[in-house]
Amino acid sequence: MTHEIHYGKADVSTYRTYATPLRGLRPVAGSAFTGRENVIMAADLEVRVLGGSFWPAYTKGDNSLVVATDTMKNFIHRESLAFDGSTLEGWLFFVGRRFLETYPHMERLEMSGRESPFHPAQVPTANGEGTEDSTVLFHRGHGARATVWLALDRSAKGDVTVTHHKCAREGLQMMKVSGSAFADFQRDEYTTLPERKDRPLYIHCDIGWKYQDPMVAIRPDTAAYVAPEQVGDVASTVFHQFVSLSIQHLLHEMATRMLSCWPQLAEVSFDAENRLWDLAHTSERDERVKVYTDPRPPFGRLGLVLRR
């Protein structure tokens, strides 16, 4: 028999205040995002430990090397206090490296994080003539968020390295009322869908990317860092500008634009769903005026991975 094991702690909610601000990003066309203050840097973190050292706990009930998952939770919280970086990737690498440094019998591990975004509230300026971002009040976001997964191992020299990784902007929901089409597709006796030369289009979309060198996302110098906010902005800009003939056509345009914007990326990926609303009524006076309702499942699902 062969075996693979892992254990760890998931959904470790962590709210770090006054982290290092994210600055020094390279501007990209289609996004006005240039950084964030990181007054609140929050995420649900997970650690998964792998390797043969813990096999006796499974076969003999020998817990002598087992680090309790509650200890892992406490470790994440304590070490997050010492983190001096500005990105989710850097945060996960810092905590993961500290795990491997503190517990030598942990052979390798995986760290993942799902951002819990908080956005500054808009408040009146001191002179009352406009508004500005509050430095103390924040609203919790419930839309798109960043996710990161890192696999960490020790090199031959004993250094901790990133062996695999994936970054993502998940939970994007975008609706375009005109400028999309779906027509000239194959038809047979099973086909009932009408062709649309111009249609509204509502999609749910997760966008992933991988760096040619994952340490680009971890080093203090953020000039080559790809911010999730920029990725979402570029996707929105493409959706706004591009007249697509299908969702596949749209995803390919988004992917090529991303690889053009960021030569440091090795791969981009998309997982999208067609959530176009069902039409309920159309105005007799103006055909642009319509009432829609949420669609019933099933939903069309589409994917794309584009590598250099």
Write down the pTM of the prediction: 0.93
Find the angle CA(66)-CA(69)-CA(70) to the nearest 5 degrees. 120
pLDDT higher than threshold 90 for residue 126:
no
What token pair was written down for 296? 């019933």
Q: What is the pLDDT of residue 271?
A: 98
Mean pLDDT for 87-114 is 96
Examine the residue annotation and report whether 69 is marked as an active-site residue of this protein: yes
Catalytic residue among 9, 73, 210, 222: 9
Neighbouring CB atoms inside 10 A of 17's CB total 9
- Catalytic residue, chosen from 34, 69, 161, 237, is 69
Report whether pLDDT(156) > 90.
no
> 195-210 burial by CB neighbour count: b if 16+ within 10 A, else e?
eeeebbbbbbbbbbbb
pLDDT band at 118 (very low <50, low <70, confident <90, very high): very high
Give the pLDDT score at 200.
93
- Give the pLDDT confidence of 15-71 residue by residue, as tens digits: 999 999 999 999 999 999 999 999 999 999 999 999 888 999 999 999 999 999 999
Residues sharing a CB contact under 8 Å with residue 300, sequence separation 6 or more, in sequence order:
247, 273, 274
- Residue 9 designated active-site: yes
Q: Which domains does the chain have, with CATH numbers?
A: 6-167 (3.10.270.10), 170-307 (3.10.270.10)
- Write out pLDDT tens, residues 165-223: 999 999 999 999 999 999 889 999 999 888 999 999 999 999 999 999 999 999 999 99
Three-state SS at 6: strand
Percent of the chain with pLDDT over 90: 89
- pLDDT recorded at residue 25: 95
